[in-house]
Chain A
Amino acid sequence: MVAEGKSFGLGCDPVVGSLNPVKKREYRVTNRLQEGKRPLYAVVFNFIDSRYVNVFATVGGNRITVYQCFDRGVIAVLQSYVDEDKDESFYSVCWACDVDGSPLVAAGGSNGSIRVVDVGREKIYKSFVGHGGSINELRTQVLKPSLVISASKDESLRLWNVHTGICILIFAGAGGHRNEVLSVDFHPSDIYRIASCGMDNTVKIWSMKEFWPYVDKSYTWTDLPSKFPTKYVQFPVYNASVHVNYVDCNRWLGDFILSKSVDNEILLWEPKLKDQIPGEGAVDVLQKYPIPECDIWFIKFSCDFHYNVAAVGNREGKIFVWELQSSPPILNARLIHPQSKSPIRQTATSFDGSTILSCCEDGTIWRWDLVTNNSH
């Protein structure tokens, strides 16, 4: 611990979680699906509509699939969509809503276009073109579920209004990322704030406060979407080099940031913004959540709705479930199955954290359910 803490300086070292599980929780595989042969890159529960909290969507290859989790490990396929472009490989999927509250699914991938599917009507709703590279992540603003942000290989982030199909803002330029953007997340309470990270090893916090009029405008825009005065946000409010390698996933934990690099750990750190110098800020790394064998990029973690646990897979098909808000961090469970050997690209944690889904490189979906004491 001292050796690790050296780089942080005396009195600034983070608390490192122990990899010996406390066995506080126990998960068991309750289902396993083979969804085609192509790798699955994303799986996500619907956290923006309480009617569908047990509905999840997966993407892999040119397919988007919507499932429902039932009790006792039952998984039902609700809908399936296939892009006619066979070369498309979706990398990310997210849930959204139009202003009426009708559920939408947005997916993006190697093509660079974002497909918005109206799952309430089972048809394609809109397609957004604009990104110059593949899309690495899509996230929805929970408080305003028509707003979707995309992180792309073209080093930019774009904020979309899925309801009107408008690209509102582009976060790129002079202060932007200098390599592929791999992950992005909306702040849970500060509606103006987003955090993004990528292959330039940095995590950047952006503010759209000054541009919010454009966001409002996008809801009432009736003209052609291409005529919308899309704005560039060139400078982030904060820029941190917390990691020394690709940062492939970041999430807000309140005002703190959880970020995962390819060096086998998730960091929880506090961004300390300095008002005097915009764009520069200090980092206070608070906690470390080690994840062994997690040294390839594009492995993303997921949290339950209340951010109590985070589940992250690794290169060998194991899943680590960390209790996020305890200090020191507690490893709740290590999910190991002899047949799960393929890299887990993303996990999905259910609303209450009782179910963990993982989607793997080999095209399988695994469902792990919490073993409650009642079942014994």
Chain B
Amino acid sequence: MVSKPTDSASKPRTQPGESANDAIGTLSFKINQLKKQIQAERVVYIKEKIQRNGKKLQCHMSGVMSAISTRGSSQTEGNRKIPILSSRIDHPLCKFNGFSSVSGDKDHNNQDALSATSIKIPCIERLPPYTSWIFLDRNQRMAEDQSVVGRRRIYYDQHGSEALICSDSEEELTEPEEEKHEFSEAEDRVLWMAFEEYGLNDEVLNIVSEFVGGTSLEIQERYKSIKEKNIGRLDQPSENSGQSESTIGICPEKSLSAALDSFDNLFCRRCLIFDCRLHGCSQPLIYPSEKQTVWSDPEGDRKPCSDQCYLQVKVVKCLSEDSNSCGAEQNKRTTIMEETDGVLASSIIEEPSNQSSLPFPSDVDCHGSLNLNVPILVSVEKRKVTDQSDTTHCDPKLPPDDSQNSCKKLKTISDDVVTVNSDSRKDINLCARDVLDKAVKHNSDKLIESSSTFHSDEPDKSIGDGPKDPTNKTEFKKLSNSMEGKVDGMISLSDWKPLEKELYLKGVEMFGRNSCLIARNLLSGLKTCMEVASYMHSGGVSMPHGSIIASSSIMEDKGKFDVECTDQEIPSRSRLLRKRGKTRKFKYSWKSAGHPSIWKRIADGKNQSCKQYTPCGFVQKAAKIGLEDAIVPRVNAEVDNAHALLQDGNVTQMSVGIAGCGDGSLGEPPRRGEGQCGNMRLLLRQQQRILLAKSDVAGWGAFLKNPVNKNDYLGEYTGELISHREADKRGKIYDRANSSFLFDLNDQASISHHLHFLLSCLAYVLDAYRKGDKLKFANHSSNPNCYAKVMLVAGDHRVGIFAKEHIDASEELFYDYRYGPDQAPPWARKPEGSKRDESTAPQGRAKKHQSH
């Protein structure tokens, strides 16, 4: 199948002048032929399949046959009681003769008379229904009924005979249409044949799409994938090797911000999940305004975190000062050499073929054999050995100019080596420390000897090391010369990749100048404690606090730095940095990093005053920044409302001013005229008792149980958070509902005004039509006694209802829906307006859904 089209594929290419019509004509003919062939094949296939199945079935049924023919046999042994049924066959109750001829119109046997002889089956009591209750979908008490997911809502216009079908979301309806076409094998064949022979162009595509399902785009994609598959089949091995190499984890050359980009973008820090639906992606990062105390360990009692801890070096230094001035350096060198040797020796063991011919395994060989083992093991020591072995490995062999290059090459190699041989290397390390202790007391010459003997003592490497010891010795001597003075540099400053540097800076930010913690928590597998320490000392950035500036300067480089932030507020919130990606759209509100701690405090029962409640303050500031960036729609409820009103027609919104703790003004201390921060009450749900009763105005109304003072918090207005798009759609439905049966249904009267709260700087609308609390029943009044305020509570926008004036107990609550001049329903204009006589079909429908 593959070869055939390629033969003919050359034809159209050689004759490009061939008229398109001809080509297309033959194409459809060919496709038709192919189709017929496919169909014929299908018929044969089915036939074969059915025959095979039939044979199998026959086999089974003969087995069943033998089973059923022995039914009575078990009985014959014991009680050979012949069933009455058998005897009845010989003596039936009655017999009806068959028709003798075809005509038999009159022949009509009637069996009714027989009922006298029938045996009674006694009544049995039915089970009460509750005993047979089983878990069914419809037996669940679920909110599903209230949601309209997958359901169509139809509203009938009473006056016009118009029916409006409103599906809750268009996506649901369009989804099945957008379902991806699954290409069958036959369609693949047609595709392949057509495009291989006639090339991929529009005309061919048109014809093909007549025969093959799916959109033309899908067809093209499918063709590509088939092509890839066919190509892939030919040279599969090369593809595989390419893939295996590309699967390497993090790239240390990237910067930290780049590495964290997807995390910053997709991770919702409030919900602690990726791709949070509610808060969206690309949430701006907020850094805590309070300076977090650095995790500090009293350095005195610190124990070495590992044998590569910088504290070890200190110990060694002390020792060396006692005995010999240059002892410490020698020590260092020795350990390095030993480990290098260990590494090399073990790599030789890996490759017995090389050991006889070459004093050192050549890097190519090493690569070839060991690169297959993809390194996964991450250990603190690994890195160290890598670096050191790099240096030792290359220096003697190569001229100094090339050493840097080859080092880089070899890095991966020796990584592998180390990974593979990590076990043996650990042994070496242990022994190395012993040697180290001894070495302090010996001079440098002996030291080398002891190290090499130590290697020959190693049982693992006896084979490889035996013949090599002499060479090793000499190599090491050279090595020690060439490496003089280099060692320190290699350890401290070489190859700190940008990512590592940034991680280090973060570490300093978090842990202070504690290289143990930094190395363990942030650079594990990348750098050792000692390296971190030396990096720290080598002035590598002498800045525990300046680190932030450094990191911010990195951001500045990329043009993402928030200028305003640094300009005005550096002293108070130097860390209030915000990063934004290139195409990030600002979708949702600010999150407070201090949020969990608030909750904790609340849980502890401490009454929290606003002053301590820092999140409010800085969230406000953050919001300010967002505004000035002009990425966020301006935090202005009125503007958005007006817009939405235009779209929604009769749908009304309650417009509310955004108010944070401090009424939104930057830098202003929270207003404490009301005694307590409003959002805390919202957060703690310290609301007034609201009663639900028949309103004096229309439908249901909300009443207050206890008297409240002016500006007292009454409760939260809750509902579904829906998008603007959804709100528009629902608006149409509610609009309909309003005009058609608002007055017929007293139950619905007050809710069908369906308050929408626009949380304006978000892309969300609060809809209390289906779900909400009792406060949604409060009616409209042009002279209200309540007002609503959108507040930022722990980073979320919530709507609080407050008393506009002193309200007595059991008074009805009103707020101003801000109806447009024509939008207000009649009852809002003239309160005693309507009749409630007819009960209509929509009422039944509404009741069925139990939405209120």
Contacts and interface: CB of A to CB of B under 8 A. Distances in A.
Contact of A103 (B85, B97, B190): B85
Given A129-B127, A132-B129, A142-B67, A31 B96 contact: yes
Contacts of B599: none
Nearest to A285: B46
B71 A49 contact: yes
A275 interface: no
B299 interface: no
A121 B83 contact: yes
B120 A82 contact: yes
A47 B68 contact: yes
Contacts of B105: 339
Given A11-B185, A129-B127, A76 B95 contact: yes
A76 B96 contact: yes
A63 to B, nearest CB: 7
A255 B59 CA distance: 13
B54 interface: yes
Interface in A14-29: 14-15, 28-29
A81 B118 contact: yes
B56 A255 contact: yes
Contacts of B187: 9-11
Contacts of A9: 182, 184, 186-187, 213
B121 A75 contact: no
B104 interface: yes
B109 interface: yes
Interface residues of B, number: 83
Given A77-B114, A78-B93, A306-B61, A328 B133 contact: no
Contact of B74 (A101, A173, A253): A101
B61 A307 contact: yes
B583 interface: no
A113 interface: yes
Contact of A51 (B71, B136, B186): B71
B675 interface: no
B184 to A, nearest CB: 5
Main secondary structure, interface of A, reads: loop
Nearest to A133: B132
A231 B61 CA distance: 30
A286 B45 CA distance: 9
Given A47-B68, A50-B71, A33 B39 contact: no
B110 interface: yes
Contact of A113 (B47, B74, B126, B213): B126
Contact of A34 (B83, B94, B108): B108
Nearest to B49: A286
A68 B84 CA distance: 13
Given A74-B98, A79-B93, A130-B132, A103 B83 contact: yes
B119 A34 contact: no
A101 B69 CA distance: 11
Given A30-B99, A76-B92, A51 B86 contact: yes
A103 to B, nearest CB: 5
Contacts of B69: 50
A78 B129 contact: no
Contacts of A305: 61, 65
B88 interface: yes
Contacts of B117: 80
Contacts of A70: 95
A78 B85 contact: yes
Contact of B42 (A12, A48, A72, A75): A12
Contact of B92 (A51, A77, A253, A339): A77
Interface in B792-848: none
A233 to B, nearest CB: 12
Interface residues of A, number: 96
Contact of A81 (B99, B102, B119, B127): B119
Contacts of A120: 81, 83-85
B85 A79 contact: yes
Contacts of B94: 76-77
Contacts of B272: none
Contacts of B136: 154-155, 172, 176
A292 interface: no
A145 B70 CA distance: 12
A291 interface: no
A131 B134 CA distance: 10
A51 B120 contact: no
Nearest to B136: A155
A81 B51 CA distance: 43
Interface string A333-373: 00000010000000000000000000000000001010000
Contacts of B189: 11
Interface string B535-575: 00000000000000000000000000000000000000000
A73 B92 contact: no
B240 interface: no
Contact of A255 (B53, B61, B72, B211): B53
B730 to A, nearest CB: 28
A119 B85 contact: yes
B43 interface: yes
Interface in B20-55: 35, 38-39, 41-43, 46-47, 49-51, 53-54
Contacts of A63: 115, 118
Contacts of A47: 68
Contact of A48 (B71, B73, B124, B134): B71
Contact of B123 (A84, A97, A130): A84
Contacts of B296: none
Nearest to A37: B112
A173 B135 contact: yes
Contacts of B83: 102-103, 119-121
B244 interface: no
A174 B135 contact: yes
A130 B127 contact: yes
A100 B88 contact: no
Given A100-B74, A254-B53, A68 B118 contact: no
B98 A72 contact: yes
A122 interface: yes
B111 interface: yes
B46 A170 contact: no
A258 B187 CA distance: 27
Contacts of B41: 11
B401 interface: no
A52 to B, nearest CB: 7
Contacts of B171: none
Contacts of A196: none
B324 interface: no
B95 to A, nearest CB: 4
Given A48-B71, A103-B83, A188-B61, A129 B126 contact: yes
Contacts of B61: 188, 305-307
Nearest to B125: A129
A293 interface: no
A85 interface: yes
B217 interface: no
A156 B213 CA distance: 38
Interface in B178-212: 182, 184-187, 189-190, 211-212
Contacts of B111: 33-36, 65, 77
A328 B39 CA distance: 13
Given A84-B120, A188-B60, A154 B68 contact: no
A253 B53 contact: yes
A31 B111 CA distance: 12
Contact of B119 (A29, A79, A173, A176): A79
10 contacts: A32-B108, A32-B109, A47-B68, A65-B118, A74-B95, A80-B115, A82-B119, A120-B85, A286-B50, A327-B50
Given A76-B94, A101-B72, 12 more contacts: A9-B182, A9-B187, A10-B187, A32-B104, A33-B111, A47-B68, A73-B99, A82-B118, A119-B84, A127-B124, A142-B67, A327-B46
- The 4 tightest CB contacts between A and B, nearest first, are A73-B98, A11-B186, A120-B83, A132-B132
